[in-house]
Amino acid sequence: MGTFASLLDARKYFEDERFATANGMQIDELTDDYCICSFEIAPDHRNALGGVMGGAIFTLADFAFAVSANHDHHPTTAQRVFINYLNVSRGTRLFARTERIKTGRSTSIWKVLVYDDLGKDIAYFIGNGFKL
């Protein structure tokens, strides 16, 4: 059983995650094994070339990682993360789906796949969480 009793509890807790929520990111699904977060791509998310800004993609992946890691054990903070950008999105919405790789006494490792509404993989993120 995770930290949050329901999806609504997780949404309420992460309302204070101001940067992500101010940029339209939301929690769509949450289980003990994974979560899915997403946002609708808006003009403010675009870079000078018209693609989605890498920082917006990173924020979505980091937000999904935070939701899953803190559902697994609260509080957990990022210890180390990295991201590989794979493709440019031509879609209108981005999703980030987490998957637990390992959870231990003091750390957890999560992979996050960012993809768009057209089914294209956009980025691959790994997050190491430190359980406080």
Ramachandran region, residue 106 (left: φ > 0; alpha: ψ -120 to 50; beta: rest): alpha
- Return the pLDDT at 56: 98
Q: Summarize pLDDT for 15-63 with one digit per residue, the tens.
A: 999 999 999 999 999 999 999 999 999 999 999 999 999 999 999 999 9
- Return the pLDDT at 18: 94
- Return the pLDDT at 6: 94
Q: What is d(CA 92, CA 12) in angstroms, rounded to the nearest whole number? A: 26
Q: Summarize pLDDT for 86-119 with one digit per residue, the tens.
A: 999 999 999 999 999 999 999 999 999 999 999 9
- Return the pLDDT at 83: 98
Closest to 98 in 3D by CA, of 60, 41, 130: 60
- Return the pLDDT at 85: 98
- Return the pLDDT at 105: 96
Which pTM does this prediction carry?
Answer: 0.96
Tell whether the model's pLDDT for residue 1 goes beyond 80.
no
Tell whether the model's pLDDT for residue 2 goes beyond 90.
no
- Return the pLDDT at 123: 98
